[in-house]
Structure 1
Amino acid sequence: MKNNIIEYCLKKKGATQEYPFGPTPLVVKVADKMFALIFEENGMALRLNLKCDPIIAENLREQHDCVRPGFHMNKKHWNSIMIDGSLPESDVFDMIDHSYDMVVKKLPKSLREAIVEMN
């Protein structure tokens, strides 16, 4: 599932990957703004940090044991999702879409328009 998650993130228009904090996490950005952090530690489930509307974030945490407040992030605006098989891949992809959309929505209009025009 890890490769599917990374591939899905990088297929987003304007998405780039970086390692600004060292060998982990993989940080996926759009217009130099983070929308996904992918942590892989030996012996632990893959952890995915995603931006989220605060109300939706709370609801997801209540509904799913694998969704927690963002690890090393603003707990109000970020969730950490433990990729342990308890969530369908489609739900994880929906959360990635939401994170990406939240970040793009906050970009200046000229950047948003440039991203929309990308192939």
Structure 2
Amino acid sequence: MDGKTLRTLAVRIATALPEAEFGFPFGPEHEVAKVVGKVFFLATELRGEHLVTLKCEPEHSLALQEEFAGAVFPGYHMNKKHWISLRGTDQVAEDLVDELVRTSYTLVVDTLPRAARPGLSAQALKGLQIEDD
């Protein structure tokens, strides 16, 4: 999948998640999604290449970087241990993007106080259908 398709798909998935809000707090070139005020998704363009940056568990990040070398790398302008960036390559499939966006969202939601968490559990989130445009 090319970078533009990657970004469009990732935005569509993130937008459909409960209480996800999009904005441009770092300028017009950096699209950011937050849940209850906490960032879980960033999309930007770097030297003409579309990148999506997501929260990720450190062990999973290392495994992804090894398995998808060239497509997954430490988070651009983020904590390299807890964030990954994804670029469009032939290695990137729709199900991988879906998994990574939902995982990023869930990692952030899990850090919120219970009273502030959106109504869906991580288990219910897995079954949430994303509408095609």
Q: Same fold (TM over 0.5)?
A: yes
Identity, % of aligned positions: 34
Number of the residue aligned with 2:119: 116
Q: 2-side partners of 1:42 and 1:77: how far apart?
A: 24
Q: Give per-residue Cα distances to partners, 1:40-76, cap 9 Å, x unaligned.
A: 24632x2010000111011101111210001100000
Rounded to whole Å, the distance in 2 between the matches of 1:4 and 1:90 is: 10
Which of 50, 53, 60 in structure 2 is aligned with 1:49? 53
Give runs of aligned pairs for residues 17-96 of structure 1, distance below 5 A.
Answer: 17-41=22-46, 43-44=48-49, 46-65=50-69, 66-96=71-101
> CA RMSD, aligned part only?
1.3
Residue matched to 1:105: 110
Normalising to structure 2: TM-score of the pair?
0.81
Q: Quote how far apart the aligned CAs of 1:25 are.
A: 1.0
**Is 1:10 aligned to residue 28 of structure 2?**
no
Distance 1:42 1:73, change over 3 A: closer
Q: Provide the C-alpha distance between the structure 2 equivalents of 1:82 and 1:31, rounded to a whole number of angstroms.
A: 27
Q: Count the aligned residue pairs.
A: 114
Q: Are the equivalent residues in 2 in contact too, given 1:51–1:78 (CA < 8 A)?
A: yes
- TM-score of the pair, normalised by structure 1: 0.90
**Structure with the larger RCO, 1 or 2 (CA within 8 Å, 6+ apart):** 2
Equivalent residue number for residue 131 of structure 2 = none
1:26 is aligned with what amino acid? E
